[in-house]
């Protein structure tokens, strides 16, 4: 299939993009187009106008801040794979990047595009929710912020106003000395859409006790979820896998998993449990290894 007819406009700067968004009905922003264009080709999205923000240089950056890093919306995904600041400040984000689509997709796809299109299986969205990232958008002349946990509403649905443009995302840095991360997903082929995924970040003290834990699951429910009850149960303890499995299973008991041609709800729940335990285990081992170095 081919996209329905649409008007294409390249914005010179963010002010012009926001003005056009405010003036037009059924207008969408495009940067890398790795999610939106296929949706348009299948007629699942039919915008009347596309505003291209890919060449707005002010929106492409990785910037270190006092408590974390800020990443511009049009920053290419492949940039995050190689960026030393990302690896040091947000190791979980660096960990998942090789799993985001294929290399050709990452060379065109943008951070903001992945977040704004809100695919339940998107790895960047999962990290944003897991770590409690903040998304920044511009509406008219005003800049607004929203927590990642409030941004994603459902499959391809966000709280971003129709006349707003996502400009950046801010990931917090953990100041703990011994931090480890883990990520696992299952898919039909590597780099295809995941059927279930789990991301974990753990901080241990010098005696190996878990002082901080963040665990999120993706591709299982309508949006990425952070399992705070797991963190509550494991923080202050030496993490043992049987205990971790029990608390993860309990946390997933009340979640309604997706069910489609690729995977049943029961499969997604079981897979998410196993992947979450593996991610926690990997994160703990990585934190222990960081102490050894």
Q: Residue 101: its pLDDT value, please?
A: 87
| 113 domain residue, yes or no | yes
Q: pLDDT tens-digit profile of 55-71?
A: 999 999 999 998 899 99
Q: Which of 110, 141, 172 corresponds to the end of one domain?
A: 172
Q: What is the mean pLDDT of the chain?
A: 93
d(CA 30, CA 10): 9
Q: pLDDT tens-digit profile of 130-148?
A: 999 999 999 998 999 999 9
List the domain range (segments joined by +) for residue 281. 178-292
Residues 161 and 196 in one domain: no
Residues 182 and 167 in one domain: no
Residues 132 and 165 in one domain: yes
Task: Report the percentage of the chain scoring pLDDT > 70.
Answer: 99
Residues 164 and 238 in one domain: no
Closest by Cα among 110, 282, 96, 112 to 181: 282
pLDDT-based confidence at residue 232 (cuts at 50, 70, 90):
very high
| 262 domain residue, yes or no | yes
Residues 154 and 105 in one domain: yes
Task: Report the percentage of the chain scoring pLDDT > 90.
Answer: 76
| 1 domain residue, yes or no | no
Indicate which CATH number applies to the domain containing 217: 3.30.390.50
| 192 or 149, which is more confident | 149
Residues 95 and 31 in one domain: no
Closest by Cα among 218, 220, 231, 232 to 283: 231
Reply yes or no on whether the pLDDT at 26 is more than 80. yes
Indicate which CATH number applies to the domain containing 71: 3.30.465.10
| 2 domain residue, yes or no | no
pLDDT-based confidence at residue 37 (cuts at 50, 70, 90):
confident
| 67 domain residue, yes or no | yes
Q: Residue 199: its pLDDT value, please?
A: 98
Reply yes or no on whether the pLDDT at 25 is more than 80. no
| 25 or 20, which is more confident | 20
Q: Residue 291: its pLDDT value, please?
A: 60
| 19 domain residue, yes or no | yes
Phi, psi of 220 (to 5 degrees): -100, -45
Specify the range with the lowest mean pLDDT, choosing from 40-49, 104-113, 239-248: 40-49
Q: Which of 156, 172, 188 corresponds to the end of one domain?
A: 172
Q: Please tell me the total count of domains within the chain.
A: 3
Find the mean pLDDT for residues 190-199: 89
| 73 domain residue, yes or no | yes
Indicate which CATH number applies to the domain containing 19: 3.30.43.10
Q: Residue 44: its pLDDT value, please?
A: 84
Residues 158 and 133 in one domain: yes
Find the mean pLDDT for residues 207-220: 96
Cβ atoms of 199 and 279 closer than 8 Å: yes
End-to-end CA distance of the chain: 54
List, in order, residues 6 or more apart from 102 with CB less than 8 Å away: 191
d(CA 251, CA 138): 35
Residues 140 and 220 in one domain: no
Reply yes or no on whether the pLDDT at 293 is more than 60. no
Q: Which of 120, 148, 172 corresponds to the end of one domain?
A: 172
Residues 32 and 118 in one domain: no
Specify the range with the lowest mean pLDDT, choosing from 17-26, 91-100, 119-128, 240-249: 17-26
Residues 47 and 151 in one domain: no
Residues 202 and 128 in one domain: no
Residues 238 and 265 in one domain: yes
Reply yes or no on whether the pLDDT at 94 is more than 80. yes
Q: Residue 60: its pLDDT value, please?
A: 96
């Amino acid at each position: 299939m081919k996209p329905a007819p649409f008007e294409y406009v390249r914005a010179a700067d963010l002010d012009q993009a926001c003005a056009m968004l405010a003036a037009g009905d059924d207008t969408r922003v495009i940067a890398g187009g790795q999610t939106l264009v296929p949706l348009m080709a299948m007629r699942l999205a039919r915008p009347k106008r596309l505003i291209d923000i890919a060449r707005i240089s002010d929106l492409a950056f990785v910037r270190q801040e006092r408590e974390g890093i800020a990443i511009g919306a049009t920053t290419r995904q492949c940039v995050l794979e190689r960026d030393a600041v990302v690896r040091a400040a947000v190791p979980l984000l660096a960990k998942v990047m090789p799993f985001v689509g294929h290399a050709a997709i990452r060379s065109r796809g943008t951070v903001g595009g992945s977040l704004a299109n809100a695919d339940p299986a998107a790895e960047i969205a999962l990290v944003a929710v897991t770590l409690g990232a903040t998304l920044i958008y511009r509406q008219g002349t005003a800049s607004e912020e929203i927590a990642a946990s409030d941004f994603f509403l459902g499959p391809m649905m966000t709280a971003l106003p129709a006349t707003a443009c996502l400009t950046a995302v801010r990931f917090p840095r953990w100041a703990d000395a011994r931090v480890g991360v883990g990520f696992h997903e299952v898919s039909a082929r590597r780099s295809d859409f995941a059927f279930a995924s789990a991301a974990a970040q753990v901080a241990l003290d010098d005696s190996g006790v878990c002082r901080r834990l963040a665990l999120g699951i993706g591709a299982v429910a309508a949006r990425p979820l952070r399992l705070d009850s797991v963190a509550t149960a494991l923080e202050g303890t030496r993490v043992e896998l049987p205990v971790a499995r029990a608390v993860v299973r309990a946390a997933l008991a009340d979640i309604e998993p997706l069910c489609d041609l690729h995977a049943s709800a029961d499969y997604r729940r079981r897979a998410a449990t196993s992947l979450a335990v593996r991610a926690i285990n990997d994160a703990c081992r990585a934190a222990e290894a960081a102490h050894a170095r």
